[in-house]
Each structure stands twice: as structure tokens, then as C-alpha cells.
Structure 1
Amino acid sequence: MKRWLLTATAAACLASAGWWHAPAAHALTPSDAVSAEPNAPVNGPSHQFEIHSSVQVSRETLREAYQASHDAYTKKLQKYAKCTEADARKAVMSEHPGCKIEDIQLRNIRTNLVYMAIARDDEDKYLVIVDAGNGNILLDRRIPTHHERVFAGAPIPSRDE
């Protein structure tokens, strides 16, 4: 899924930047020119396109392909990990007793092999990163709720407004 998303995003970027167009694409007139300004509004003909290929793939097939690539990725990295997923789970549970581990995955962060886990209790959710070499916890951070992210730092309206 990530590979498909990355490919689609790259194609969209290339198409919108004018690097890749069908041979019969229209020539840009001065009014159609894309601004070189980094904060320019996104509008104009180069950002309004629909892509229809001759082959469509079902979402289920894409999910299966993503899962297969994820499994192959994990299997390839697993031989470098010195601690197992069970060891990483044990480290997370020792740090957050009573929490349920929603997800744990072997990942790399800038070439550092780690287990990333999401632990949840009744009220809070935590991102816990465990070193895949020695089982030490490298990061333990509470994940803010949607409400906290949306309204963090927002001014409190007064009754006079």
C-alpha cells in the first residue's frame, strides 16, 4: 500500500510540476503558468487531472500486496534484530503495566532497527520505541488525543464575542 501510494504521489507531483505529460498535452499559456512561489495557491489546469489507466486493481488486492511487502520487509530485517517481538512486548508491558498493546512492528528509523509499539489503557495511548538490539526503551511518549491536537493553544473565546 505504501509503495502504491508513493508511486501515485510521485506521478501526481511529476504531472503537476510539468515534468511528465501525455504527448498531446496542451501548451501552457502565460495565464496557465504554474507559479514558482513555494506558497502559491494550488489551482490552475496542472492541478486538475484525472488518471485512468487500462488496468484497475481492487482495494483488496492492493491490501494483500501491501501486507505481502510488509511481511517481506519484516522478515528481511528480523535476522538483524537481537531481541524478539516477545522481548519487546515484555519491555513495553513492564513500562506500562495494565496497558494493552494494540500494535507492535519491527521498523527502521534512519537505519536504527527498532520495535514500534502502541500501548493503550482506558484513557491514554502511548508510542513506545524499543531497541531491537538490547530491548531497552528508547522512547516512551503519550500520544495526544484528537481533541488535544485540535484545540491545543487555541484561544478561549470570551462571552463578549
Structure 2
Amino acid sequence: MKKWLISLSVIGCLTCTTCTVFAADDSSHPKTTPTHTTLHPVTANIQSTDGPNVHEWGDIKSSVQVTRDTLRDAYQASHDAYTKKLQKYAKISPSAAKKAVVAEHPGMTVEDIQLRNIRTNLVYMSIVRDDEDKYLVVVDAGNGHILVDKRLPTHNERVFANRDDSAK
């Protein structure tokens, strides 16, 4: 069985790497078209430089228009259904996760706490802030332990992060 699989694998590799296609050479059928045996290189650049940019959606107009409020409501409904579906797997409640965040950052305001998954790991994600600092806090939805506690840069820190002070 192993020899058979190895033989099949070798034939498959040879087919892909020799730039030829196995085809019957039957000269008795003159109507057959020649088989292409040339391989052309494939590049990662899929955008054509001569044609329009494939990511420009400005000129697409549908016959059906929906308001932004309708889209917002649809998104919220899908988010609520997502959360409801996952909530049964969480071992702690959102309020217990919020208590864990407040215990880690006393005196700060919890802006939002949401049940999310990070690579199939169920967690509560929260943003906490005060007048000076802002943190992303990720809480394990199973035991309430803090998994991530990361200070987020302020607006000014992001804007001036790459500024060269030596040029003054």
C-alpha cells in the first residue's frame, strides 16, 4: 500500500514539474487539437496595471439602496446572535469579567466589554480608560483570569510616534 501511494505521489510530482501533460498520441484522429505543454509563471501581483483598480467600488450602483441605520441594525442583530450563541460556552458572566477588569484597573472607566473569540479561544475584550491612559484588557471567559493587559497609545503618541526630534 505504501509503495502504491509513493508511486502515485511521484507521478503527480513529475506531472507538475516536467512541464508536460500526459496525453495519448493518437495520430489516427486528425481533429484533435494540440495539448499545451508550456507553463507560464504565476506572480502574486493580481492587479493589472493597464486596467482599473479592482478595489475601487465607487461606480457600482445597485437597484436596491438601504440606509446606514438599516445596515447598523443588521450588523447589531448579527452581533447579538453571535454573542448569544457563544454565551452558553462562557463559564463567567460579562459582569464577572467586568469585575476582573475593574480589579486590575481600579478607578478607570470600563467603556465596553464584549464576548469574542481569538483563534477559537473564548474571551471577553474590554477597553478601560481614565483621563490619561487607555488599556485593552482580555479576560478568559472560562476562569476570569486576565490574559492581556495592554496599554494603548494615545492619539498624540500615535501622531508623533515617528517624529524625528533631532531635526530641530
> Which residue is 2:151 aligned to?
142
Question: Structure 2: which 5+ runs fail to align?
Answer: 1-42
Question: Structure 1: which 5+ runs fail to align?
Answer: 1-35
> Which residue is 2:3 aligned to?
none
User: With CA pairs under 8 Å and 6+ residues apart, which has the higher RCO, 1 or 2?
Assistant: 1
**So what's the TM-score if we normalise by structure 1?**
0.70
> Which residue is 1:73 aligned to?
82
Q: Distance in 2 between matches of 1:125 and 1:104?
A: 14
Q: Distance in 2 between matches of 1:56 and 1:147?
A: 39
User: How many residues end up aligned between the 2 structures?
Assistant: 124
Question: Which secondary structure does the structure 2 equivalent of 1:87 belong to?
Answer: helix
> Which residue is 2:125 aligned to?
116
> Which residue is 1:57 aligned to?
66
> Which residue is 1:45 aligned to?
52
Question: How far is the alpha carbon of 1:121 from its aligned partner?
Answer: 1.0
How many percent of aligned residue pairs carry the same amino acid? 66
**So what's the TM-score if we normalise by structure 2?**
0.67
Cα RMSD (Å) of the superposition? Answer: 2.3
Matches for 1:1-161 after TM superposition, within 5 Å: 38=45, 44-47=51-54, 48=56, 50-156=59-165, 158-159=167-168
Question: Which secondary structure does the structure 1 equivalent of 2:165 belong to?
Answer: coil
Larger of the two Rg values belongs to structure = 2
Question: How far is the alpha carbon of 1:80 from its aligned partner?
Answer: 0.2
> Which residue is 1:26 aligned to?
none
- Deviations along 1:17-74, one digit per CA (max 9) or x if unpaired, are xxxxxxxxxxxxxxxxxxx675x89885244551101101110000000000000000
